[in-house]
């Protein structure tokens, strides 16, 4: 399928139905999708490298060094480094940090911690973005359940992806499952288009109603990255660095992120 030609054919039909449709620039060509996929291969290898070495007693700066060194070794560029002033190559978000934790030599991993490592790779001008949860030693039952439910919510969202589904379907699947398990979904931060730039349209909310929102066309590439809290969904921004976001009540938070592409018959994961 030629995704741009398909857009030209199908977009008027959905527009006549009164549905919100993507702009044509949100549709990637198969060549561009292949470029994003290759960037995703490197990104996955970088996170695999983190998985090999992450342990109690290491600093989050050591994690950042692994991400930087492995990315460069594989021919990529760490997209986070210098992005809008961000000082490191990845985000390391521990326990009550929802996202955008800044690696530091003074932040040391200890048994019982849960940590999200989020990195994005640029390869030949294409971007791929993913994050994973890691556990340090024995963790609480609550933390185990949080990570499990977070992964399940992402899997449920993936399960409904197909051409011409709606963005609201993604958010509904995630929040419905999360609430059933007694947790909450962060509303202030969502997924995003990615590929030719770090952040593109569309914005992907992790809450919503079925059969609402933007129609997803083949050739669209975006992240799904639910951020799930054990307690309230309320969060706050650390004013000391204007990056790191915490849960308001100190509850734990977890996140898992994939870069996905809508294809002619379903979806493809480009980075996980």
Query: For residue range 83-112, what is the model confidence (pLDDT) as tens digits?
Result: 999 999 999 999 999 999 999 999 999 999
Low-confidence spans in the chain with pLDDT less than 50: none
Helix (H, G, I), strand (E, B) or coil at 271: strand
H or E element in which residue 100 lies: none
Cross-sheet strand order for the sheet of 97-99: 97-99, 245-247, 235-237
**CATH class of segment(s) 3-271:** alpha beta
- Say what the pTM is: 0.97
| Token pair 């996980």: residue | 272
* Residue where the block lists tokens 């019982």: 112
Could you give the C-alpha distances from 57 to 70, 100, 114, 196, in angstroms and in order?
21, 21, 13, 37
The pLDDT, as a whole number, for residue 10 is 98
The pLDDT, as a whole number, for residue 1 is 93
The owner of tokens 């590929």 is 195
pLDDT of amino acid 97? 98
């Amino acid at each position: 399928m030629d995704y741009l030609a398909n857009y030209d054919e199908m977009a008027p039909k959905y527009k006549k139905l009164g549905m919100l449709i993507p702009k044509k620039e949100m549709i990637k060509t198969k060549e561009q999708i292949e470029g994003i996929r290759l960037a995703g291969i490197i990104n996955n290898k970088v996170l695999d490298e983190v998985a090999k070495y992450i342990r109690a007693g290491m600093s989050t700066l050591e994690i950042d060094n692994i991400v930087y060194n492995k990315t460069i070794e594989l021919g990529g560029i760490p997209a986070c480094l210098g992005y809008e002033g961000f000082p490191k190559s990845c985000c390391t978000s521990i326990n009550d940090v929802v996202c955008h934790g800044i690696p530091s030599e003074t932040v040391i991993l200890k048994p019982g911690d849960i940590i999200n490592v989020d990195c994005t790779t640029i390869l030949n001008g294409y971007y791929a973005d993913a994050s994973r949860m890691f556990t340090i030693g024995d963790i609480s039952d609550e933390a185990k359940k949080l990570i499990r439910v977070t992964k399940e919510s992402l899997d449920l969202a993936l399960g409904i992806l197909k051409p011409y589904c709606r963005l609201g379907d993604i958010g509904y699947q995630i929040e419905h499952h999360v609430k059933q398990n007694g947790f909450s979904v962060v509303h202030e931060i969502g997924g995003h288009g990615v590929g030719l730039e770090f952040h593109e349209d569309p914005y992907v909310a992790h809450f919503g109603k079925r059969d609402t929102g933007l129609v997803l066309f083949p050739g669209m590439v975006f992240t799904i990255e639910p951020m799930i809290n054990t307690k309230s969904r309320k969060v706050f921004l650390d004013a000391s660095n204007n990056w790191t976001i915490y849960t308001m009540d100190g509850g734990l938070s977890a996140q898992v992120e994939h870069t996905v592409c809508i294809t002619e018959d379903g979806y493809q994961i480009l980075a996980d």
